[in-house]
Structure 1
Amino acid sequence: MFVRTAEKLVKSRLKDPKSAKFKDTYFTNLNGSSTVCGQVNSKNGFGGFSGYLNFITIIGLEQTILKTDPYDFTKLWREFC
């Protein structure tokens, strides 16, 4: 259930949500936060797949952070995943 919710949130951030392919996706509850971590690949604006990208979805906040977002992603990954 949490994984499906996270995948929907991740897809909402993509240029071509229907092309999304997920792998290594898992649920964790580190630091008391229900979180789904994994990787997603999807088509870019040119129609080609852009390569797998790590993501973190914090379920309670319904927030998805992609590795390309302007955060210290490595720190967040260690903390939540």
Structure 2
Amino acid sequence: MKVIIKFLVLTVILCSAFFGWYYFHEQSFHDLTTPYLAKKWVKAELNDPNSAIFRNTKGYCGEVNSKNKMGGYNGFVRYVAIHEGLVSFEGETYSDFDESWRISCELTLKEWEVEFCKENPEAVFC
């Protein structure tokens, strides 16, 4: 009986340690790869990707400064990197950049859910 109890206690400890490590590993992997991917996608849209200087990066949002075709720096511009090939820069013809920035970069997930549910009360998860 003592052997079975020791085995169960050991199993519970090992399982909880594994799941704790797995959660931490997955979260830190996501935190490390998100800015890398966003910067990669932004650089692909620039005239001179090697001259890119990033600041205030948070997830898929941030500011970038890079050289233009004449070789001079333009100044820092906000960006929202949605996906590879789909990067929005402040000042482009995209009319809803400010709204995209607010939703993607300023709101927490909970704040976004509250706003979404106000506008779509019939949604399943509201």
TM-score in terms of structure 2 length: 0.53
Note if 1:45 corresponds to 2:77. Answer: no
Unaligned runs of 5+ in 1: 28-35
Report the number of matched residues. 71
Q: Choose between structure 1 and 2: higher strand proportion.
A: 1
SS in 2 for 1:12: helix
1:3-59 CA-to-partner distances (Å, cap 9, x unmatched) read 0011010001100000000000011xxxxxxxx10000000111010000100012x
Cα deviation for residue 2 of structure 1 reads 0.8
TM-score in terms of structure 1 length: 0.81
Cα deviation for residue 68 of structure 1 reads 3.0
Unaligned runs of 5+ in 2: 1-32, 106-126
Counterpart of 1:4, as a letter, is: Y
Between the aligned partners of 1:23 and 1:12, the Cα distance in structure 2 is 17
Higher relative CO (CA 8 A, sep ≥ 6), structure 1 or 2? Answer: 1
Q: Choose between structure 1 and 2: higher helix proportion.
A: 2
Q: Alpha carbon RMSD of aligned pairs, Å?
A: 1.1
